[in-house]
Amino acid sequence: MKSNIKHPLLLVIALIFSSVSFGQAKKWTLEECVAYAVENNISIKQSTLDKQLSDVSKKDAFGKFLPSVNGQASHSWNIGLNQNITTGLLENQTTQFTSAGLNANIDIYKGLQNQNQLRKANLSIIASQYQLTKMMEDVSLNVVNAYLQILFNKENLKVQQQQLSYDNKQLDRTNELVEAGVIPKGDLLDVKATVASDNQRLIAAENALLISKLSLAQLLQLDNFQEFDITDAEIPAQESTVLLEDPKAILEKAKENRTDLKLAQTNVQIAEKDVKISRGAYQPTLQGFYSFSTRASNSDRIIFDSNNNPIGIGSPLPVFDQFSNNKGHSYGVSLNIPIFNGFAARNNVFRSKIALERSKIALEQQELDLERTVFTAYTDTKGALKTHEAAVSTLEAREQSFNYAKERYEVGLMNVFDFNQAQTLYVNAQSEALRTKYDYIFRTKILEFYFGIPIIKKQ
């Protein structure tokens, strides 16, 4: 929770914003920040679009069970020397010909590829939902960390302000004592140097607070980040009940709840469906078809008598009569047996098997990572708690030491150098207690998250 940014321009901006903008800003709660980030974060929006694509892919897979129907129509003109279909003679003429048709095909059997495609599409929807949930969880943790960073910087700024106020009072008192000839002028110079150092630490604290606010505002993707601020909530550093659990119990709970592990498991199932789909290409396919066609032309026609003997030439029949007389249907089934296709089907099966092994390895790695992460989080949280308790104990001791040094300094039993040393140690102890407090709170949030406790508890 430290900031190393010391650019002079940022310091100026910090002073401006702290005196003008932040005083008028809306105060955001932690719950509001998390909710807003989940709603507006770009990465989450991308994952939402990925889920929508998975929904479309399912519709594609379902559509493969439906027949494909296509219609066609054409109209042509033949101009010039053409054979008269009535007389058989070559003549310069213009003829028109119209045709129309309708074709329908449906898969009856395709090596169960369509069924497996639909099952894979359903799994892909589940995987995309897991991915979206994981992205929300990651963003929420980042927001919590950034929020706690601001709280730490706010409290640390108060410490520096209090210290500067106290040292300014000491400066006034020391100046009076020097003028009265009670203490040497060198003590006054030491106190002035201390005040100057306090001002530097104050500016650094203001700068760190500004940067942390900007970081959270950018994480939320706010346009008016100059006016962003959060509520001054007090979050106690309480010992979490999760620390009373055995790490193995936390791990088992994490295996039930962790989204990234569920995502890896779903990816294995998707890879298994890909193997079945590729193997389906080895099997014969059976397809049903139906075709309808009709035609019409403007050519003269031969007229036949009742005995089917030609008796003359007549004008063409009306177009719709020709369509009715010339219509035809055809239907049946088509069997396709794969014999040799340049090893394409075989290679696809090998590729899908390799992808399956990769997904299994990824799942195994995810399980190992989860185990390591849970045990590390548990150890880090316990360590952070002990560190914070030690920092609090140190702060109490430093405070007593400082109060004692102040009493001795005020009666002239301690020089200003030793007093400043005691004061510096006290201020550093205050900052360290704050830092360890928020470090412990954040690590507790992570450990509770692995145990299945929501990042933000609903009221």
**DSSP secondary structure code for residue 413 in this structure:** S
* 342 is a domain residue: no
CATH code where residue 226 lies? 1.20.1600.10
How many other CB atoms sit within 10 Å of the CB of residue 120? Answer: 22
**DSSP secondary structure code for residue 381 in this structure:** H
Instruction: Note the pTM of the prediction, 2 decimals.
Output: 0.77
For residue 79, what are the CA distances in angstroms to 82, 83, 99, 256, 313? Answer: 8, 11, 18, 77, 21
Range of the domain at 152: 8-73+112-285+358-450
Quote the CA–CA distance of 261 and 397 in Å, as a whole number. Answer: 46
Quote the CA–CA distance of 459 and 275 in Å, as a whole number. Answer: 47
Closest CA to 215 of 31, 5, 25: 5
356: Cα separation from own chain's centroid: 25
For residue 64, what are the CA distances in angstroms to 115, 125, 344? Answer: 9, 18, 22
Radius of gyration, alpha carbons of the chain: 41
Q: What is the pLDDT of residue 9?
A: 41
Closest CA to 98 of 323, 324, 328: 323
Strand partners, 146: none
Q: Which two tokens stand for residue 319?
A: 């177009």
* 83 is a domain residue: no
* 64 is a domain residue: yes
* 352 is a domain residue: no
**Which residues lie below 8 Å from residue 152, measured CB to CB, with a gap of 6+?**
1, 434, 435, 437, 438
**DSSP secondary structure code for residue 455 in this structure:** S
Q: Which two tokens stand for residue 49?
A: 């679009």
Closest CA to 102 of 334, 336, 323: 323
* 100 is a domain residue: no
* 275 is a domain residue: yes
- The tens place of each residue's pLDDT in the chain, 459 residues long, gives 444 434 444 444 444 444 444 445 578 999 999 999 988 888 888 999 999 999 999 999 999 999 999 999 998 888 877 766 556 667 777 778 889 999 999 999 998 999 999 999 999 999 999 999 999 999 999 999 999 999 999 999 999 998 898 889 888 887 887 888 777 888 888 888 889 988 999 999 999 999 999 999 988 888 777 788 898 878 888 888 888 889 999 999 999 989 999 999 999 999 999 999 999 999 999 999 999 999 888 776 667 667 777 676 677 778 888 888 888 999 999 999 999 888 899 999 999 999 999 999 999 999 999 999 999 999 999 999 999 999 999 999 999 999 999 888 877 788 888 888 898 899 999 999 999 999 999 999 999 999 988 877 654
Report the length, in residues, of the chain. Answer: 459
**Count of structural domains, the chain:** 1
Q: Following DSSP, what letter does each residue of 417-435 receive, concatenated?
A: HHHHHHHHHHHHHHHHHHH
Residue burial 419-439, b: 16+ Cβ < 10 Å; e: rest: bbebbbbbbebbbbbbbbbbb
Q: Which two tokens stand for residue 304?
A: 């036949």
Q: What is the pLDDT of residue 414?
A: 82
* 103 is a domain residue: no
Quote the CA–CA distance of 44 and 46 in Å, as a whole number. Answer: 5
Closest CA to 196 of 420, 425, 437: 420
Widest CA span in the chain: 148
* 131 is a domain residue: yes
Q: Residue written as tokens 């309808």?
A: 292
Q: At what angle do helices 259-279 and 247-257 cross, to 10 degrees?
A: 50
Quote the CA–CA distance of 115 and 216 in Å, as a whole number. Answer: 47
Quote the CA–CA distance of 44 and 127 in Å, as a whole number. Answer: 15
Please provide residue 110's backbone torsions phi and psi, each rounded to the nearest 5 degrees: -140, 45
Give the pairing of strands 285-297 and 90-109: antiparallel
